[in-house]
Structure 1
Amino acid sequence: MPARRRTAVTLTRIASAGLAPLALAAYAAAPAVAHGSMTDPVSRVAACYAEGPESPKSAACKAAVASSGAQAFYDWNAVNIANAAGNHRSLIPNGQLCSAGNDKYRGLDLARADWPASPMSAGAHTFRYKGTAPHKGSFELYVTKDGYDPAKPLKWSDLEPAPFAKATDPGMQNGDYVFSGTVPNKSGRHLIYSIWQRSDSPEAFYTCSDVIFGKDNGGGTDTGTGTGTGTAPTAKPGTGTGTGTKPTGKPSDKPVDKPSAPTDQQIADGSGKSSVEHNGHGDNDPKTNGKADAAAPIAAGSSSSSSPAAAAAAAAKENLAETGGNSATPTIAIAGAAALAVGAAALFAAARRRTARTATGRHGR
């Protein structure tokens, strides 16, 4: 092979090898955001959203909104860490488990024993987790140890060391992930902590659900100012971080506030005020919204009258839903590839010109 051609081929290979990783990086940089929260038992953030971010009813939710602001509760389905990759305990400080260390949700970490709580009993239980953007992943549920005091900031050591329920890629029903687990025997007020770790991304989501086994045992003394973060207490009950109802630390026959999960209508009504896209993948473009069942594969052997092209398009859509892509992702990838191709062509042309000049110089000598 002539020297001139060998040089051109070598330069082309170098350019291709250097640009290929850039193309992959550009594609991988597309938004990849899942959303969701526990609805059975109801998480703190979902319960306060259902009460109404502008005018919550319970003293605990009033305090949480006063600390975090209403926007955090319109964004009820985004308590996450984008790059968790399973490193939950090292990334989330003690006292900040319910907010996942995110200051935006600091109101969820308020240490108080009057959070609205769901009745719970030992034995088999069906759990539900609202998935407003479905993705593959695994769920782990932990319950607090005997002696848990909700009037103190929640620490990792307050949780039982092993999850009592686990599920990988559970099925969805009416927009909820549904899976079963066996709840251990407990008594009084406790907390169930959930971790949803995506398998197609390092992103993970976290929830705190307050529960009561039997009768509420109070769980400590007056919460004072909670964790000491957020808005300072005011003179009006229920508007600061520790005002409002004072837990007595003694068993009480007073009915406990029972949380409600947000209805589909409430979710739809509040989506316009949310800063995170519902039913989509984080790009705030309603045109890219996915369907709640987009991540569910078509059952093997199912009959369909659709054409092979339509089936391929459906499969592509399914893969995008699982990985956090959206309908804009192929366009972005194509545009990026085109830009890289133009750059490669320019490098190749420059290399050919340099080679030609070098060859001309040698022939002139």
Structure 2
Amino acid sequence: MTARRKTAAIAVTGVVPLALAAVTATPAAAHGSMSDPVSRVAACYAEGPESPQSAACKAAVAASGSQAFYDWAEVNIPDAAGKSKEIIPDGKLCSAGRDKYKGLDLARADWPASKMASGMHTFRYKGTAPHKGSFELYITKEGYDPSKPLKWSDLESEPFAKVTDPQLTNGDYVFDGEVPARSGRHLIYSIWQRSDSPEAFYTCSDVVFGQDSGAGGGSDSGSATPAPTASAPSEEQIADGAEASTVDHSEHEQPTAEPTATETTETTEAAGNAAAPNGSAGTAVTADDEKLAQTGSDSSTAPLALGGAAVLAVGASVLFATTRRRAAASAAGGRHRG
């Protein structure tokens, strides 16, 4: 091997591990939950999974275990694909049908609740990992009884608020919606359906309308017992809880088929174009590359993902070619010695 070839191989093999580290070093991240009005899972996490304060959160932790609440931002279905109403059974809306979060489905009239009023309201959804997609908010019908398991028929058939790709401000998706007139205790159900993946996220937020803050039954409850006030987790709690979370973001990436020899060649050529400094990267990026760059990130991470993929592909190509040359040279030397 000439000195030039050695230098090229060393340069590429040295860069590839660094590029791989840059692409894979992103910490595992969850995705999000409603913070205004705060969701059940986030409110119980804010109370402390090891020693919750409210009776409802104590019961929920007893049913699900504390780990579910450290993973408060991951009440999801990876392959929902817009079919939430078809695949989540009645009585399991708050857990999204996942046994891990079954404590959220407990039919109780004393869940910590947020005060709510009819009319325009600014909603906030904590996004711990940003994704493109749409939010739909549903509210329970008049006569809702929180002491019974929540069914789809308890919710209005159409969302009262719907927004696509809302603005992310200080870690929260922020959007407005006009809340219908209600009285007493109700529930707001959210569906966050990603557009860059079939994955969807779900929340149940307990709310109380009007002066009646009773923890009792439906809209005409006259209980004098005040409802526990729901609080969203603080940024410090979120940071501390991240260390205890078991959520692995890679679980939700969609598997890809093994590439053929032709596809590998085309990918290598495209990666070379993407890495070229002549501004031709735009023509080399495929639809699948663009989707991968957007998943689990905002637009600022796309260059890193594409650049890393390009370096890895180019490096693999050079190493493969170098190995073939070495093999050919070795074979030729053997024939000559023979």
The TM-score, its normalising length taken from structure 2, stands at 0.68
Alpha-carbon contact 2:215-2:225 (below 8 Å) kept: no
Partner of residue 35, structure 1: 31
Q: Secondary structure at the match of 1:178?
A: strand
User: What whole-Å deviation, never above 9, does each CA across 1:41-61 have from its counterpart, x for those lacking one?
Assistant: 000000000000000000000
Alpha-carbon contact 1:33-1:203 (below 8 Å) kept: no
After TM superposition, give the deviation of residue 339 of structure 1 in Å. Answer: 7.4
1:208 aligns with 2:180: no
Cα distance change of structure 1 residues 147 and 119 upon mapping to structure 2, 3 Å threshold = same
173, 191, 196: which one pairs with 2:192? 196
After TM superposition, give the deviation of residue 329 of structure 1 in Å. Answer: 7.8
Q: Distance in 2 between matches of 1:174 and 1:337?
A: 38
Alpha-carbon contact 2:30-2:129 (below 8 Å) kept: yes
Partner of residue 323, structure 1: 295
Residues 150-165 of structure 1: pairs in structure 2 closer than 5 A: 150-165=146-161
1:118 aligns with 2:114: yes
Partner of residue 144, structure 2: 148
Q: Distance in 2 between matches of 1:321 and 1:147?
A: 46
Alpha-carbon contact 2:114-2:208 (below 8 Å) kept: yes
161, 167, 171: which one pairs with 1:171? 167
Partner of residue 49, structure 1: 45
1:265 aligns with 2:261: no
After TM superposition, give the deviation of residue 173 of structure 1 in Å. Answer: 1.4
Q: Distance in 1 between matches of 2:118 and 2:108?
A: 24
Structure 1 unaligned regions, length at least 5 = 1-30, 221-248, 285-307, 344-365
Q: Distance in 1 between matches of 2:191 and 2:296?
A: 18
* Aligned-pair identity (%): 68
Q: Distance in 2 between matches of 1:85 and 1:340?
A: 36
After TM superposition, give the deviation of residue 320 of structure 1 in Å. Answer: 5.8
Q: Distance in 2 between matches of 1:32 and 1:328?
A: 16
Cα distance change of structure 1 residues 33 and 199 upon mapping to structure 2, 3 Å threshold = farther
Alpha-carbon contact 2:52-2:58 (below 8 Å) kept: yes
Q: Distance in 1 between matches of 2:310 and 2:296?
A: 14
Q: Distance in 2 between matches of 1:44 and 1:161?
A: 22
Q: Secondary structure at the match of 1:133?
A: coil
Partner of residue 74, structure 1: 70
After TM superposition, give the deviation of residue 254 of structure 1 in Å. Answer: 2.4
Counting matched residue pairs gives: 258
Partner of residue 183, structure 2: 187
Structure 2 unaligned regions, length at least 5 = 1-26, 252-276, 321-338
1:92 aligns with 2:80: no
Q: Secondary structure at the match of 2:208?
A: strand
The TM-score, its normalising length taken from structure 1, stands at 0.63
After TM superposition, give the deviation of residue 340 of structure 1 in Å. Answer: 9.8
User: What whole-Å deviation, never above 9, does each CA across 1:219-265 have from its counterpart, x for those lacking one?
Assistant: 16xxxxxxxxxxxxxxxxxxxxxxxxxxxx95122222011000000
Q: Distance in 1 between matches of 2:149 and 2:105?
A: 7
After TM superposition, give the deviation of residue 172 of structure 1 in Å. Answer: 1.4
Cα distance change of structure 1 residues 329 and 203 upon mapping to structure 2, 3 Å threshold = farther
Alpha-carbon contact 2:147-2:217 (below 8 Å) kept: yes
Q: Secondary structure at the match of 1:96?
A: coil
After TM superposition, give the deviation of residue 283 of structure 1 in Å. Answer: 3.8
